[in-house]
Amino acid sequence: EDQVTQSPEALRLQEGESSSLNCSYTVSGLRGLFWYRQDPGKGPEFLFTLYSAGEEKEKERLKATLTKKESFLHITAPKPEDSATYLCAVRLWAGGTSYGKLTFGQGTILTVHP
Amino acid sequence: DGGITQSPKYLFRKEGQNVTLSCEQNLNHDAMYWYRQDPGQGLRLIYYSQIVNDFQKGDIAEGYSVSREKKESFPLTVTSAQKNPTAFYLCASSLSIRVGVYEQYFGPGTRLTVT
């Protein structure tokens, strides 16, 4: 069964303490990996799309990377406002009529203390 | 401003009642989706629609129904047949699957509580 696993489940950092979140997937035919940020009680906010191993994307203090079996979301010098749940999702190849179904991981809850 | 709106933000219903959640988008996106989010679980796909007047079941469609009469609107009805309807419901849209654009953008969500 195709699976998406995020680790750790929760991460507590001090302001300025850089770290990484992991998203690993046991799927075949990956056709895109997506990162989202979700604040409590709100809908997910799109961050990045990665399509091929070796690809990297950056936005402010966030940098997403992709290998053949996992993706990392690196957070450099985080601030308290970076506290949120970070979700990853994968899209699989499903034939010519693929509708773009995303399979989501359970998320990593990031808390950044001042 | 372009975006996705969901209403209401909070919804309370008695067990046995059907309830309809609204989702509207003005992004001119072709595809729309409904997800359910429960604590400790990832988002699960309920229904999706690639074009007007067409929709398909997702992974957990039992007890739900949808319609897609307009490009901008994709309402979700939670029927009395849904055994555990209390959850956070999220609507999403994406530009055009046909041209290979798959990023999904989400609305603010509706929290449904059934007692």
B-interface mutation test, from A23, A46, A51, A98, most B Cβ less than 10 A away = A46
Q: Which residue has the higher pLDDT, A52 or A76?
A: A76
B58 touches chain A (CB under 8 A): yes
Give per-residue pLDDT as tens, A12-43.
Answer: 999 999 999 999 988 777 778 999 999 999 99
Range A5-17 average pLDDT? 97
Mean model confidence pLDDT for chain A: 91
Amino acid B22 reads: S
* The pLDDT of residue B110 is above 70: yes
pLDDT recorded at residue A102: 87
Q: What are the residues facing A29 on neighbouring strands?
A: none
Give per-residue pLDDT as tens, B2-38.
Answer: 799 999 999 999 999 999 999 999 999 999 999 999 9
Q: Give the side-chain half-sphere CA count within 13 A for B66.
A: 29
Q: How many CB pairs under 8 A join A and B?
A: 60
Cα(A64)–Cα(A19) distance, integer angstroms: 12
Q: Over chain B, what HEC string results?
A: CCCEEEECCEEEECCCCCEEEEEEECCCCCEEEEEEECCCCCCEEEEEEEECCEEEECCCCCCEEECCCECCECCEEECCCCCCCCEEEEEEEECEHHHCECCCEECCCEEEEEC
Q: b or e along B66-94 (b: 16 or more beta carbons within 10 Å of the residue's beta carbon)?
A: bebeebbebbbebeeebeebebbbbbbbb
Residues in chain A: 114
Contacts with B24 from chain A: Cβ below 8 Å? none
Cα(B75)–Cα(A32) distance, integer angstroms: 28
Confidence of residue A68 (pLDDT cuts 50, 70, 90): confident
Q: What angle do CA B91, B96, B97 make, to 5 degrees?
A: 95
Confidence of residue B46 (pLDDT cuts 50, 70, 90): very high
CB-CB under 8 Å, A100 with B108: no
B43 touches chain A (CB under 8 A): yes
Confidence of residue B40 (pLDDT cuts 50, 70, 90): confident
CB-CB under 8 Å, B102 with A32: yes
Out of B40, B43, B108, the one facing A42 most closely (by C-beta) is B108
Number of other residues whose CB lies within 10 A of the CB of residue A75: 22
Q: Which residue has the higher pLDDT, A114 or B41?
A: A114
- By three-state DSSP, how is residue A81 classified? helix
Q: Give the side-chain half-sphere CA count within 13 A for A2.
A: 15
